């Protein structure tokens, strides 16, 4: 049924640390690798080695430029660091299904293929029932669902349900592929419904946030904002461009002078 189950105690999900993510795409690749053969597979690519490869990914890592801000004006800086500024930075932003508590993608489904599990809150697609009408992807503001034209059905993150409960795997490996692959431990998996769990404590300590909270989808996954930097000052725009370093070519060795001449052409 696409009617939502009564809210469960257990809310499995991810906590993603935007402070430590380095944008290496290991999560996206590990996810693609595992899920191409897991219960959500195949994740078909069209024209994979051609001019315009096109395929389904459950994780996509965006990179954004965030303008610098005085810590006193920043929402994260205010309480933590009184002085200084956080300079402009690059923030890498992995985007995947947030396993919302109020997933509109589930309620709009006309066939009952989309459902939210009562026992742990994971949102799944039963691909044998999906008719490929794409309405669920329209209902998701986070772009979590992607349609596979080859399979004719909708695909989405399963929170690696075939890993986390898999008794064939060592206990330490019973977590989503993206979490296990992350080299900077920017991704954490756990029960966000239990206030005593490690992930809940992490969210509380770092001020974990929802994406687009104004829509009321109540995402389970949380994002930890970047920590404010200390001691830095905001540089006026154009500062870097204005500093013209002068080079005394006479002081260089002949070899370097020749190199400088060649490179200056």
Partner 1 sequence: MNPAFSVLLFTTLSGAGYGLLAWLGIHYAWWPLPSQRDVALIPLGVGLMLATIGLSSSVFHLGKPLRAWRAFSQWRTSWLSREGVLALKTYIPALLLAWLAWRGDSGPLSHVVGILLALLSFATVACTAMIYVSLKPVPAWQHKLVLPGYLMFAALSGWLLFACTAALAPTPALVGAVLWALALAALKRSYWKDVDHLALPSRESATALEGIGKVTTFERPHTEANYLTREMGFVLARKHARKLRVIALTLFAGTPLLALILAMLLPTLANFALWVAAIAVLVGAFVERWLFFAEAKHMVTLYY
Q: Which 45-84 residues touch partner 1, going by CB under 8 A?
A: 52-57, 60-69, 74-76
Cα 245 to the chain's mean position, in Å?
40
DSSP-assigned letters across all residues of 59-119: -EEEEEEE--EETTTSTTHHHH--SSEE--EEEEEEE-----SS-HHHHT-SSS-EEE-TT
**Count of chain residues binding partner 1 (CB under 8 A):** 74
Q: What does the alpha-carbon distance between residue 211 and residue 142 come to, in Å, rounded to a whole number? A: 8
Q: How far is the CB of 203 from partner 1 (least distance, A)?
A: 12
Contact residue for partner 1 among 210, 218, 229, 230 (CB under 8 A)? 210
CB of 80 to partner 1, least distance (A): 12
Residues 162-181 that bind partner 1 (CB under 8 A): none
Nearer to partner 1, 125 or 159 (CB): 125
Helix H or strand E encompassing 242: helix 239-242
Residue 229 in the binding site for partner 1 (CB under 8 A): no
Tell me whether residue 100 or residue 164 sits nearer to partner 1 (CB atom).
100
The helix/strand/coil state of 190 is strand
Helices (H) and strands (E) in the chain, counts: 9, 13
When asked if residue 95 is in the footprint of partner 1 (CB under 8 A), the reply is yes
Asked if 256 touches partner 1 (CB under 8 A), the answer is no
Q: How far apart are CA 230 and CA 93, in angstroms?
A: 22
CA distance 154 to 144: 10
For partner 1, the binding residues in 106-145 under the rule CB under 8 A are 107-113, 129-135, 137-143
Q: What angle do CA 9, 15, 16 make, to 5 degrees?
A: 165
Residue among 93 and 174 whose Cβ is closer to partner 1: 93
Q: Interface residues for partner 1 in 8-37 (CB under 8 A)?
A: 18, 23, 25, 28
Nearer to partner 1, 149 or 256 (CB): 149
């Amino acid at each position: 049924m696409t009617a939502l189950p009564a809210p469960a105690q257990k809310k499995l999900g991810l906590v993603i640390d935007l402070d430590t993510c380095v944008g290496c795409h290991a999560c996206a690749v590990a996810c693609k690798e595992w899920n191409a053969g897991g219960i959500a597979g195949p994740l078909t690519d069209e024209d994979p080695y051609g001019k315009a490869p096109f395929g389904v990914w459950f994780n996509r890592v965006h990179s954004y430029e965030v303008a610098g801000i005085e810590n006193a004006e920043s929402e994260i800086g205010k309480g933590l660091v009184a002085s200084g500024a956080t300079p402009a930075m690059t923030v890498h932003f992995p985007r995947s299904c947030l396993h919302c508590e109020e997933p509109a993608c589930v309620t709009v489904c006309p066939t009952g293929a989309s459902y939210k599990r009562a026992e742990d809150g994971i949102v799944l697609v039963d691909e044998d029932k999906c008719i490929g009408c794409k309405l669920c992807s329209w209902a998701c503001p986070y772009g979590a669902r992607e349609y596979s034209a080859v399979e004719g059905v909708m695909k989405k993150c399963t929170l690696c349900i075939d890993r986390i409960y898999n008794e064939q795997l060592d206990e330490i490996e019973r977590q989503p592929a993206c979490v296990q692959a992350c080299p900077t431990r920017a991704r954490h998996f756990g029960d966000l419904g239990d206030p005593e769990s490690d992930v809940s404590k992490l969210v509380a300590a770092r001020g974990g946030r929802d994406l687009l909270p104004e829509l009321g989808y109540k995402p389970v996954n949380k994002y930890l904002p970047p920590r404010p930097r200390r001691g830095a000052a905001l540089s006026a725009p154009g500062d870097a461009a204005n500093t013209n370093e002068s080079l005394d070519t006479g002081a260089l060795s002949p070899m370097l002078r020749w190199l400088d001449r060649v490179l200056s052409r």
